[in-house]
Amino acid sequence: MELLLRFEKCQLSYDSWLTWMFHHRLLYKWTHKWHHEWSTPVALSSMYNHPLDQLIGNILPVSIGLALTNSHFFTQWLWFTWSAMRSLNDHSGYRLFAFPSPVRHDFHHQKSTECFAVWAWGPLDYLHGTDKVFRAKIAAGELSH
C-alpha cells in the first residue's frame, strides 16, 4: 500500500506540472489543444491527444513511480489499470463510486487556464493559484463539488 501511495504522489506531482507545461502558449497550440477540442469531456476524449502530449503528459507521470521503484509486473499492471480508469472517470462527466467528482476537470476543459492538478487533487493548484476562479464558483454555489 505504501508503494501505491508513492506512485500516487509521483503521478499527481508530475502530471500536474506537465499539464501546466503543455498549456504554455508555445506548446499548447501544437500539442495539448487537440485534447481541448472536447470542451465537454466524454470518457474516450481522455485518450485524444497529440502523440507528444500522450507520451510526456500521460504515460510518463504514470510510469515514473514504477520506474523509480523497479516494481513487480503485477503492480505495474494494477497501477496502469487504475490510472486509466481514473482518467476515463475524469472525462466521463459522472461521479462514480471510489472516484472523486470530475467537476474540477470539467471546469478545466471549459477554462483551460485553471485546475491543472489531476483527479481533484487541488493542493498544487492552490499553491500555484491556478484554481482561484474554480474555488470562487464553488463558494458562490455556481458549481457543486
Instruction: Return the ∠ at Cα 134 (arms to 131 and 137), rounded to 5°.
Output: 150
What does the pLDDT read at residue 126? 84
The pTM of the whole model exceeds 0.95: no
Q: Which three cell numbers stand for residue 48?
A: 485524444
What does the pLDDT read at residue 133? 94
Q: Divide the 145 residues of the chain into consecutive groups of 10 and give the mean pLDDT of each group.
A: 59 69 86 84 85 86 78 85 86 81 86 76 79 92 81
Q: Inter-axis angle of helices 60-69 and 2-22, to 10 degrees? A: 140
What does the pLDDT read at residue 140? 93
Q: Is the dihedral of CA 134, 37, 28, 62 positive or negative?
A: positive
What does the pLDDT read at residue 3? 58
Whole-number Å distance between alpha carbons of 136 and 143: 9
